[in-house]
A and B are shown apart, each in its own frame.
Chain A
Amino acid sequence: MSIDKDKIKHVSKLARISVDEKKIDDLTKDLSSIFKFIEQLNELNTDKVEPLSSILNEPLRSRKDEINDGKIRDKILENSPKKNEEFFVVPKVIE
């Protein structure tokens, strides 16, 4: 599987990271060598192997769905890059 500029542009769109045109050649080179490295796995026949789903021997616990903290709205808002009273502010999304 080869990595080219178009694939990188597609993936960066999916990842919501804008990629600088000037850096795209270097990135293509780096990612190509990394994918060549990870594609070593194709040497192994894994047809009869079940993919690992958890390294714990026990199933994940569930807990009761109940509120045990909260009432920290103002504290949480203190970290927001932009707020208006008790709201997070983002660029306009509807006209």
Chain B
Amino acid sequence: MADLTKKSLTEIVSLIKKKEIKSEEVTNLFIKNIENDKKLNSFITNCNEHAVKKAKKFDKNPKLDTLLPGIPIAVKDLFCTEGVKTTAGSKMLDNFIPNYESTITKNLWNEGAFLLGKLNCDEYAMGSSNETSFFGNVINPVAENTVPGGSSGGSASALAADLTPATIGTDTGGSIRQPASFTGTVGLKPTYGLCSRWGIVAFASSLDQAGPMTKTVEDCALMLEAMAGFDEKDSTSINKKKENYSKNLTNNIKGLKIGIPKEYRVDGMPKEIDKLWENGKKILKESGAEIIDISLPNTKYALPTYYIVAPAEASSNLARYDGVKYGFRSNKGTNLIEMYENTRSEGFGDEVKRRILIGTYVLSSGYYDAYYIKAQKVRQLIKNDFDESFKKVDAILTPSTPSAAFKIGEKKNDPISMYLNDIFTVPVNLAGIPAISIPAGTDNNNYPLGLQLIGKTLDEQKLLNIAFAVEKKINFKQNLNRWWEK
């Protein structure tokens, strides 16, 4: 079974359940791929020995009535893992070993999975290209010198290169969906509050949400089922019954109404994206759905709103990194204040510092109303736009990103052009609703492009069903020649 690592998570789970393959064999095949990779830089920490030990233990006494029996999974290095270094892609946490496990990873391990490694990401999840990581750029397996997107770029790259059968990321403004789109994979940002934030290194707490990144929509349903659930340790966790997303997955979407928002057609967008969008509409119609033109009039204000709200929350969240209790401490300075200032200056990278400064400014005396309160008002308007639309439609179809993957360095020196990457993904985070990106085709370089489906609060099942129906008909095939192994 040489190409087992190319199979979907669902197929691998089924082979293990049928006892046709052992967890140890699966684990060793992924480890082989990880060891053969010489260029992608998608891992910060490898846990090969740990994984083999767990696999052997599983095989001795296989518990098969779980969702992820004997499955090795590498996760974004933003999830705290007990006893395993958790860096958030920052020098600040280069030596941080949590003494607790995040709820989301604990949920995966309770379903039979175990840790394969910690994946590279933009520093504190602030970035759209994985170029802000202290541990270096991640490369997109789609083409050399190309970014995988961000911030969950290591997750997307490792998944697309068959270094992990599935993975998890976090999405504050598009950090799951944009890299999924750039790498030809599936990524879901769940409803705010569906997946616990406990034990995830915080960026912007009213926007942060963990979600699955997988090769297929079916895998995505399976992973979400394992991750989601009420957690009393997260005060924003939604208390609701668990759903069987994978069992209830269907491609019957007859009679559903899908909205097409006119504001998501932007200047300079490649022709191919328009074509894919049209194709998506056609497929939905063929599947029995009804297409309805809608308007989300405040869309253009989502990104400016985000760049007030997210940095404001980040500046507050990142105040904890002071060099006292954990993490990096500068040895420069003669008093406590200088120690703080030097620690934070040396420990954080440029993008993180930039955002802390923006956030501090918009929250500072005299500017709070003009920026922060203004942004929270516009955030309400953006949410109202979605609420109004969802009175008429079941879901909304848009492109995931305004372009395909770009070259390393191409946008690094222009923060605004970098931020524009998230123009189609950010509104969803501001409104707290779920959205999924699925691979839909390629641009003229043959780089993948994604389509985004946006749903109502807690309507993940319907969203997955629509994505499942579209995925089947698009039948996107990724054919990578594994150049990173040479």
Contacts and interface: CB of A to CB of B under 8 A. Distances in A.
Interface of A: 1, 3, 7-8, 11-12, 14-20, 27, 30-31, 33-35, 37-42, 44, 46, 49-58, 60-61, 63, 72, 75-76, 78-82, 88, 90-93
The 9 A-B residue pairs whose C-beta atoms are closest, nearest first, are A55-B432, A51-B376, A81-B329, A79-B326, A46-B377, A18-B341, A52-B380, A15-B360, A75-B99
Contacts of A55: 192, 206, 383, 431-432
B370 A1 contact: yes
A94 B316 CA distance: 27
B96 interface: yes
B193 interface: yes
A95 to B, nearest CB: 11
Interface in B404-431: 415-416, 419, 431
Interface of B: 95-97, 99, 192-193, 206, 232, 235-236, 238-239, 298, 300-301, 303-305, 307-308, 315, 319, 322-329, 333-342, 344-345, 348, 353-354, 356-358, 360-361, 364, 367, 370-371, 373-381, 383, 415-416, 419, 431-432, 457
Contacts of A44: 298, 301, 378, 381
Contacts, number: 161
B337 A30 contact: no
Nearest to A40: B304
A51 B377 contact: yes
Contacts of A1: 367, 370
A46 B374 contact: yes
9 contacts: A3-B361, A15-B356, A17-B344, A33-B416, A38-B307, A44-B381, A61-B239, A80-B324, A93-B335
A30 B354 contact: yes
Nearest to A10: B364
